[in-house]
Amino acid sequence: MVKLQYRIAKIVEDGVSTKLYTLESVNGTSITFKPGQFVKIFFPGSEKEFRMFSIASPPGEADLEFCIKILPDGKFSQLIDKMKMGETLTLEGPFGHFVYEDAGNCAFVAAGTGIAPVLSMLRYIAHTQKPGNFTLLYTNKTRNSILYYDELKRLQQQHSGFNIIFTLTQEVPENWDGETGRINPDMVNKHIPDPAARFWYFCGPVEFVKTIKDYTLNHGVHPQRIKMEGWG
């Protein structure tokens, strides 16, 4: 697979200790991908060492967007945190089978930066006005740590079939109109009363993904209707 050079075109801080990086192709040749896929981003100056990041932008856009948590002990995140606009990175891809397949009724479940591939899917669905019902359950620790909060609210307005639910696990802000606590069966049943009729996409830490997988299988969801991606 061919490696391509991208330059940093935009850096935006979002959530807590997280930055959104927009990368543009150096020579005009862009990676063609499906919503939900990821790429390898190589360490600056290295041809072998890399980290994998899901693409948050929808297919068809020349620029690629990534949300990257800046970790104190993260070797790659500490390096990219020091980079400036105009500097270049090497990308290779796309990879992955966590891909939206044009299903009409879906349930999306995401935790933290696990929103990235799901956002690619939602952006694509909103842009194409895919008919159907699309429910997102998105969990974070605090209100300030929610990534893409304003955009997710806008997407819900742009598509009549979108239903986006936020839940917080470590605080209850004043006038908060979302859910609180970890995503659990009662919460899922409340917002997705027809689990077996949906295609499911969920992304987050491995234990989180396992919990949602167990829920879906215990509620009659066919394994072929489940796609998941986890880390850690």
Neighbouring residues of 184: CB distance < 8 A, sequence distance ≥ 6: none
pLDDT band (50, 70, 90) for residue 1: confident
> CA 1 to CA 13: how far, in whole Å?
31
The number of residues making up the chain comes to: 232
Question: How buried is residue 180: exposed, middle or buried, by Cβ count under 10 Å (0-12/13-18/19+)?
Answer: middle
Q: Position of tokens 């077996």? A: 196
- Chain-wide mean pLDDT for the chain? 96
Tens-place pLDDT, residues 106-121: 999 999 999 999 999 9
Using the predicted structure, report yes or no on whether residue 156 has a pLDDT greater than 90: yes
- The answer to whether the Cα torsion of 128, 134, 139, 142 is positive or negative is positive
Looking at CATH, the fold of the domain delimited by 3-95 is given as Elongation Factor Tu (Ef-tu); domain 3 (2.40.30)
Q: Closest Cα partner for 20 from 151, 127, 154? A: 151
Compute the average pLDDT of residues 149-178: 96
Looking at CATH, the fold of the domain delimited by 105-231 is given as Rossmann fold (3.40.50)
CATH 2.40.30.10-classified regions of the chain = 3-95
Q: Closest Cα partner for 166 from 15, 8, 10, 3? A: 15
Q: Position of tokens 């899917």? A: 121
Using the predicted structure, report yes or no on whether residue 232 has a pLDDT greater than 90: no
- In this prediction, what percent of the chain has a pLDDT beyond 70? 100
CATH 3.40.50.80-classified regions of the chain = 105-231
Longest Cα separation, the chain = 50
Tens-place pLDDT, residues 52-92: 999 999 999 989 999 999 999 999 999 999 999 999 999 99
Q: Position of tokens 């970890």? A: 182
Q: How is 89-150 classified by DSSP, letter by letter?
A: EEEEEEE-S------SEEEEEEEGGGHHHHHHHHHHHHHHT--SEEEEEEEESSGGG-TTHH
Q: Closest Cα partner for 120 from 99, 102, 149, 90? A: 99
> CA 19 to CA 12: how far, in whole Å?
6
Written in H, E and C, the secondary structure of 173-221 is: CCCCCCEECCCCHHHHHHHCCCHHHCEEEEEEEHHHHHHHHHHHHHCCC
Note whether 20 and 14 are within 8 A (CB). yes
pLDDT number for residue 32 = 96
Using the predicted structure, report yes or no on whether residue 2 has a pLDDT greater than 90: no
